[in-house]
Structure 1
């Protein structure tokens, strides 16, 4: 079992393998399980150092005294600087993690080799987002023998309903929900979710390869606003998936694996 490390500012992370670093930033109220459990099975023999971070108030990283996205971002920037130093790196972000990943560009202008995002937050105010319509596509009958308390959330968040997706939800999502500091997260969402540099990162240009994957049934962050980011890089690509919602890696796991592998193969390291 890989050991959880802590940076000097007490950000917990898991570091696996050696080579060019990939920083993984998970979504809100999740933790490193949502990234490790999905990516490690097909990256375990790769020539990359995989760094799976727990955001403050989530997983093994304690909540900050101030529940603001600015403070979370600052904490993560300090941690990344400590963990990768002056090395060039790749960054991945999902949902809120994608929002933070976009904000790293101005902090590491000459170190980011590429950015891969799934369902990234574009508009912080959830009441102003252009979201998709959530549906359930029931492919087979599933009886939740364990974790029945999370079954409704599974149906609310996932589009493709089958035994495999329920099992994946239990591995990727439930550990983070169980460990999240909900008081901290609720304060964050209620008051200071928007980054102070929000307008800046909406305009920033990406001088490196960028790939964004979104689901047409994403009722949390949507898919239309994300397409505008493609105009911010001559090396950008948008992949829109049908029958996929905000838990994209669970609804369409093979598509995400194929796209990430291709993205990494195409990078000039």
Structure 2
């Protein structure tokens, strides 16, 4: 389905189930496929109406000129307001999607009734991030059939912690399907000029202001993309926030620790928020 943001601007989304609206936002350069599998395994027969977006410039959603995170946020907020009828809603996000999720929960504090934030960026500027040292766990990589896709396999190997055929197959299914449809010129324009346009104008407020929205923040101890120590500092201001730090997990922690990850989704959305 497509949501019309502007006359020549659409956001693609897929919707499953009925009930309370839950908007699910993927990270940078991928698309909704990154999020669907784990959430559907847990919430398929739940009380939530699951809405998986392709963020602007990614997946099947339109791009626009001179992109900024503020404009992406405004477009997503417009969609959320319309599809939720300006009523209560829930959020989940990963990485950049969780960065936007923090801002949405802050700006719609009265209506947002819960945010599940997986490995959120806290600083848009990569130079400001306190990153973990990456290491891997696994057997002989020569046994993994990566279909001669050396570039993608190197990216997988540099981010994932658990290295085996199963996680590579999942990476192909959930990451590469999105990166193959990403407008990388759009991403370059978004991140150029010292990340000035990539940084949300409310980023400092997200670290400094008190927010009452229930939050579960999940990070991997080996996350070398956004880290985890910056995320811990958020807990002082999220009055109903909790953080879980997973060992043997990196930025793609749902691949490194899939069963634990699904248990956290289940506990947050089916127990704590009900």
TM over 0.5: yes
Listed as ranges, the gaps of 5+ residues in structure 2 are none
- Displacement after TM superposition at 1:148 (Å): 4.6
Could you tell me the TM-score, scaled by structure 1's length?
A: 0.94
- Seen in structure 2, the aligned counterparts of structure 1 residues 79 and 204 have a Cα distance that, compared at 3 Å, is same
**Number of aligned residue pairs:** 266
Distance in 2, matches of 1:113 and 1:19, equals 14
Runs (4+) off by over 4 Å: 146-149
Q: What's 2:253 paired with? A: 248
Tell me, yes or no, if the aligned pair for 2:98 and 2:121 is still in contact at 8 Å: yes
Tell me, yes or no, if the aligned pair for 1:160 and 1:251 is still in contact at 8 Å: yes
Distance in 1, matches of 2:233 and 2:189, equals 29
- Displacement after TM superposition at 1:5 (Å): 2.9
Distance in 1, matches of 2:231 and 2:264, equals 17
The answer as to 2:162 corresponding to 1:157 is no
The answer as to 2:12 corresponding to 1:7 is no
Tell me, yes or no, if the aligned pair for 1:131 and 1:221 is still in contact at 8 Å: yes
- Displacement after TM superposition at 1:85 (Å): 1.4
Q: Which has the larger displacement, 147-156 or 180-189?
A: 147-156
The answer as to 2:216 corresponding to 1:230 is no
Q: What's 1:183 paired with? A: 185
**SS of alignment partner, residue 206 of structure 1:** coil
User: Where do residues 87-106 of structure 1 align in structure 2 (5 Å cutoff)?
Assistant: 87-106=87-106
Per-residue CA deviation, residues 38-87 of structure 1 (Å, 9 max, x unaligned), is 32222212221001011110011111222211111111111111111122
Q: Which has the larger displacement, 64-73 or 141-150?
A: 141-150
- Displacement after TM superposition at 1:27 (Å): 0.4
Distance in 1, matches of 2:147 and 2:92, equals 33
Per-residue CA deviation, residues 1-37 of structure 1 (Å, 9 max, x unaligned), is xxx3323431111111001111111100011010113
Q: What's 1:127 paired with? A: 127
Q: Which has the larger displacement, 18-27 or 84-93?
A: 84-93
The RMSD of aligned alpha carbons is 1.6
